[in-house]
Structure 1
């Protein structure tokens, strides 16, 4: 009995390891020859917006630092 349960569990584990696995919510494979330009634009746009925001905050913080320490 115990050996048959072990064989069944091993065969199921082997089945999952040998089959190609895709995500649960993926309905189709990605087509990398046709990029989704909206997603690409949003990704780069978000990156640029975050860097601009970081730069502005850094400048603001440096002005405050210099003002408090009498460096300017």
Structure 2
């Protein structure tokens, strides 16, 4: 399992830490580390953008379910 495969299972803090490390490693380091960082950065960037949107969608759906429940009980 690669680090990229583990991204969906990372906590928000782990995701931010890994992203910061990948940005740092993109600069003057070994060619292998640079390549790994360049492969991970797009995946990490997407995950960082996607998580807040997924949370908002979950919150909206929960509010709708609550509203439907209130309408059914009145």
TM-score range, shorter chain: 0.3 to 0.5
TM-score by length of 2: 0.45
Larger Rg: 1
Relative contact order higher in (CA < 8 Å, ≥ 6 apart): 2
